């Protein structure tokens, strides 16, 4: 009585909410009799809300009051004969009374009396779903779609139900039906990627080919086919679809450009080149992607030639002419500043034409209106080239300018790291080590890791000798390698081995010699140096570096994936704390054929 009085004192909406909460509490705690009273009241007060009816019937079933439950359901059927989901309620009651045959007749009656009203169809299917009767829910949705003469109406629902019952073929079928009315296929792609195994993609592609033949005007199908090729890293096939869609939809080349970038990042340079060329040749200079496509094309050609040091002098000269041709066409200005930066890097690092590289960057540096970040990057690279040319002070001045302009962020940290490295090259080890210690907290993981390595390296080796001569010789060799004076560097490293046999720097000497051999494209000699490190110094800091770089050589240059897999596995098993461990595991899984 107190409860009723309290409820009566509240507004009607508040009363209903309070009553529903109380009913739910009774139901959750197993007090079905009390819950039943409230659910029946709520059902009558809410214009016969089906949710409350279902809960009321469930309470009666839990109380084994089957007669009241049946009478309530039959009364509701007489009042709403078109609501066929009520037959499911009746069938469930019969099942709980252990009368499965009679229950199935009620379920069949529900489906047989289904009408084209979408809400009726959805209610019936959801009633089956709530009882985990997915096959009957599928039948209800499929029959309802035919009655409504709209096969896309419940396509997503059917795809999800076929997924639940493990029917991949029909799941794909209905996702593709759903795709036809979805202007953006991203949702379909997300679902397919989530629910399909690698071995299911051929079935998806087969159905897509069939759909494309049946409905060539529906662009979503070739779009999804393109996506499957990207997923399988078959970028050449993806490009064919992207170009066809670009022409069919009269686009501006955006999807082709996006694919070109993906192919480039995955080192499929031939496809990237073909894609960038399509934009340049078919979209013209007025497209928003023309200049970026030009840059992408040049970047791809450069990577194709220079990756893994696998190139000839003829390759480099041809690439140089391509750079010059692009700059002659596009001009040298703020719009082509990034291209000029890349050209200067090519001339300096690959052609060893430092004077040309410096001249290009000095010209770029003097442009008005350059973004601060672009100017800073030009100064950093220019400083490198001055250092390679032997002008340490000019290099330091440029690095210091960037440091001053970017006290926060990666550019400033990079400048400070380069200045610290200058002091290391010059033999001022204590000052350099202090700067590297500060840079351990850099926001860039790459700079932070390099700073930690240099700090530890200097600290460890300063205490090995009464003089700093050995470390000075090693730093000198390090600078010679940076300056591309490789033969002189090799002589200096050999001198350390001769003058200071079995010195603590021996593993570092092997490592630097490996770097020289890689630059000279003497792969067997480089591998020999790495093997010496792993064999003689398995506990030292360079061991995981040697393993990772050796694995890269076997994977990318020697085309020996099995050997590469063995080395990658050794890294993440034996050197689990290494900064290379995560990447090594990823590459191992990719070589094994796993979906990454």
Q: DSSP string of 307-363?
A: GGG---HHHHHHHHHHHHHHHHHH-SSGGGHHHHHHHHHHHHHTS--HHHHHHHHHH
Instruction: Say what the pLDDT of residue 182 is.
Output: 83
3-state secondary structure at position 560: coil
Spatial contact of 250 and 256, defined as CB atoms under 8 Å apart: no
pLDDT of residue 1: 43
- 209-215-219 Cα angle (round to 5): 80
DSSP letter (8 states) at residue 148: T
Q: What backbone torsions phi and psi does residue 288 show, to the nearest 5 degrees?
A: -65, -20
Phi and psi (nearest 5°) for 114?
-65, 140
445: helix, strand or coil: helix
Torsion of CA 294, 297, 299, 301, to 10 degrees: -140
Superfamily of domain 469-592: Tetratricopeptide repeat domain (1.25.40.10)
pTM: 0.74
> Distance between CA 58 and CA 122 in Å, rounded?
21
Using alpha carbons, select from 186, 230, 182, 227 the residue that is nearest to residue 208: 227
Q: What is the pLDDT along the chain (596 residues), one digit of tens a residue?
A: 444 444 454 556 677 889 999 999 999 999 999 999 999 999 998 888 888 998 999 999 999 999 999 999 999 999 988 899 999 999 999 999 999 999 999 999 999 999 999 999 999 999 999 999 999 999 999 999 999 888 888 999 999 999 999 999 999 999 999 999 887 889 999 999 999 998 999 999 999 999 999 999 999 999 999 999 999 999 999 999 999 999 999 999 999 999 999 999 998 999 999 999 999 999 988 888 998 999 999 999 999 888 766 678 898 999 999 999 989 988 999 989 989 999 999 999 989 899 999 999 999 999 988 999 999 999 999 999 999 999 999 999 999 999 999 998 899 999 999 999 999 999 999 999 999 999 998 888 889 989 998 998 898 888 666 568 899 999 999 999 999 999 999 999 999 989 888 888 899 999 999 999 998 889 999 999 999 999 999 998 889 999 999 999 999 889 899 999 999 999 999 998 888 999 999 999 988 877 55
What pLDDT score was predicted for residue 308? Answer: 65
Contact 398, 389 (CB under 8 A): no
Three-state SS annotation for 188-206: HHHHHHHHCCHHHHHHHHH
Burial class (CB within 10 angstroms; exposed 0-12, middle 13-18, buried 19+) of 505? buried
DSSP string, 110-142: HHHT--S-HHHHHHHHHHHHHTT-HHHHHHHHH
Secondary structure of residue 260 in the 3-state scheme = helix
Check the CA dihedral 251-255-261-266 and report its sign. negative
Please measure the distance between the N-terminal and C-terminal CA atoms of the chain and give it in whole angstroms.
Answer: 64
Sign of the alpha-carbon torsion through 426, 430, 435, 440: positive
Indicate the length of the chain as a whole number.
Answer: 596
Whole-number Cα distances in Å, 344 to 144, 349, 480 = 67, 8, 20
pLDDT, residue 596, reads: 53
């Amino acid at each position: 009585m107190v409860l009723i009085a309290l409820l009566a004192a509240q507004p009607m909406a508040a009363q209903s909410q309070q009553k529903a909460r109380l009913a739910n509490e009774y139901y959750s705690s197993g007090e079905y009799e009390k819950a039943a009273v409230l659910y029946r009241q709520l059902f009558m007060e809410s214009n016969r809300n089906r949710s409350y009816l279902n809960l009321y019937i469930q309470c009666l079933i839990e109380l084994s009051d089957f007669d009241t439950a049946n009478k309530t359901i039959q009364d509701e059927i007489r009042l709403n004969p078109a609501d066929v989901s009520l037959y499911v309620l009746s069938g469930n009651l019969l099942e709980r009374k252990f009368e499965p045959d009679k229950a199935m007749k009620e379920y069949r009656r529900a489906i047989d009396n289904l009408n084209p009203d979408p809400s009726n169809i959805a209610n019936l299917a959801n009633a089956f779903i709530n009882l985990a009767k997915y096959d009957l829910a599928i039948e209800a949705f499929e029959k309802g779609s035919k009655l409504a003469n709209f096969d896309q109406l419940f396509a997503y629902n059917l795809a999800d139900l076929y997924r639940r019952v493990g029917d991949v073929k029909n799941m794909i079928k209905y996702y593709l039906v759903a795709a036809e009315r979805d202007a953006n296929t991203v949702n379909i792609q997300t679902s397919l990627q989530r629910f399909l195994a690698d071995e299911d993609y051929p079935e998806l592609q087969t159905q897509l080919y069939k759909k494309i033949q049946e409905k060539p005007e529906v662009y979503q199908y070739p779009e999804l086919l393109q996506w499957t090729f990207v997923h399988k890293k078959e970028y050449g096939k993806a490009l064919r679809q992207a170009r066809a869609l670009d022409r069919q939809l009269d686009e501006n080349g955006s999807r082709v450009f996006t694919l070109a970038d993906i192919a480039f990042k995955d080192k499929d340079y031939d496809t990237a080149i073909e894609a960038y060329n399509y934009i340049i040749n078919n979209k013209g200079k007025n497209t928003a992607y023309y200049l970026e496509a030009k840059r992408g094309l040049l970047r791809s050609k450069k990577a194709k030639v220079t990756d893994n040091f696998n190139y000839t002098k003829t390759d480099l000269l041809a690439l140089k002419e391509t750079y010059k041709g692009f700059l002659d066409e596009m001009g040298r200005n703020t719009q082509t500043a990034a291209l000029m930066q890349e050209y200067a890097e090519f001339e300096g690092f690959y052609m060893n034409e430092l004077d040309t590289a410096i001249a290009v960057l000095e010209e770029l540096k003097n442009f008005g209106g350059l973004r601060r970040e672009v100017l800073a990057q030009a100064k950093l690279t220019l400083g490198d080239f001055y250092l390679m040319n032997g002008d340490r002070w000019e290099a330091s001045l440029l690095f210091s300018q960037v440091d001053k302009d970017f006290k926060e962020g990666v550019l400033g940290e990079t400048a400070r790291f380069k200045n610290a490295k200058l002091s290391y090259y010059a033999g001022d080890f204590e000052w350099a080590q202090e700067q590297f210690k500060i840079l351990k907290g850099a926001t860039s993981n790459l700079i932070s890791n390099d700073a930690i390595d240099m700090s530890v390296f200097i600290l460890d080796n300063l205490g090995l000798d009464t003089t700093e001569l050995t470390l000075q010789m090693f730093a000198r060799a390090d600078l010679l390698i940076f300056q591309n004076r490789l033969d002189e560097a090799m002589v200096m490293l050999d001198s350390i081995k001769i003058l200071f046999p079995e010195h603590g720097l021996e593993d570092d000497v092997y490592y630097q010699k490996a770097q020289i051999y890689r630059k000279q494209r003497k792969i067997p000699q480089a591998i020999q140096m790495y093997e010496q490190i792993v064999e003689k110094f398995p506990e030292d800091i360079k061991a995981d570096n040697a393993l990772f770089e050796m694995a890269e050589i076997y994977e990318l240059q020697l085309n020996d994936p099995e050997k590469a897999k063995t080395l990658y596995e050794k890294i993440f098993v034996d050197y689990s704390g290494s900064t290379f461990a995560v990447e090594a595991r990823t590459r191992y899984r990719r070589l094994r054929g796993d979906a990454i």
